[in-house]
Structure 1
């Protein structure tokens, strides 16, 4: 805070405005719990205009300390007919800047803006914690058909920020997953069939990007079985045992589909202990 301001005027106010990265008024709001709804001679913090603006009076302590601190609460408005998903994306409303403008009272008692001396903060970006993948499954499926895959995320995610690529190095094949379902922190999508059916047990990479940054990569095995081999698959065997014991037990086609769409954790279901019921203790 320049000392000369105190000599130039008996009333100095800092207007704090939230703007987008194009320095246009931001549709979101800023707030201070102690602010008054309008200006008066005793108000230290007040609102007197659009919701993206706040006003802070400079005090004697501010001039003594030569700096001013601001307590500001950022309020993200909900999406509606005005603040749409397209508007958020096109104007990058997840980023914002604070603009600081001095307003002072001149010798005639009128308030003047010092637009020449405006200052801007650094770009601020919304952050909800790191996004990562906890697990994905199943990691295998038939080569000639789609299989449902689930991915569990850690952290807050937005569907538009996700992209998924399937790549196979030997054949240089790749496929972008354009359709998937987001339910909370879990997404579901269909793993596409592998185009080269003459190959056996092909390992493809599932690569997940968040905001164009790679956050996860895992291997998915495309299995190539004949109808006779499918009929002999064991439901109780894990994927690592399938190649060894493909011809031990009979299995219907529907059960094969179920295996390809179930996480591996289901193999342990039969070994889990039964839950204790409160009713059994009361009898």
Structure 2
């Protein structure tokens, strides 16, 4: 039994550090790192497709704040009992740094904002969606580390060798504070590390997307659709293992239902989208204009030289 406990995964002793009066929250730091990684990958991938890098930054300015709002709205709506009712503080619904962002709301509202932006710029959304998809799933994997620091998104109690130990945390007054407190070393329970399962699954989907895109020459938004298919497939079975509080519908967690429905929709969309990859001119019609102008300038130069 002692050897088994030594193999368990320990939770971090705390998830918040203080730089004077300023709190440094591991959850927020992981989210920010994930965003930066996603942006870096998207810039490289969209440029390689023939897109304008400035468009990526414009999309980020829209998607990040709108996505955070959407993610928080989804979380608050599906877990409303945590914020509203007797003994609850509704203002906690605005405390994003303490954790609680629903990826469904973030992708939906953030995607809507980017779609409007691309409509205004008269650019096709598919190539950009394909460029951003691998970065998004990798950012989600990085963000799951924040759940580890917060001791949340865990599964049912277990005695498997890789079980996650959940520590009892207290604040400076000795009161129970699971998010902001520091561990006393006392183990409350040992559970399935579903945050880790999802992290590893997301990394696997990341590499699968890169392989599938190259192997099958995916384009026109099919990489993004395949990302949604892959993510929801993993999220479905991981949700079945989770044991933290959640809104239930017909005996299943709300995210289980959402995963199943979105999986089916994304699969249908994937097969209905056009096959093949876009040319640089299709990614950004301004490329065609630029090449035409360059060709005309070259012709004029040759004519002048012949004279």
User: So what's the TM-score if we normalise by structure 2?
Assistant: 0.23
User: So what's the TM-score if we normalise by structure 1?
Assistant: 0.25
Greater Cα radius of gyration, structure 1 or 2: 1
- Counting helix residues as a fraction of each chain, which structure ranks higher? 2
- Counting strand residues as a fraction of each chain, which structure ranks higher? 1
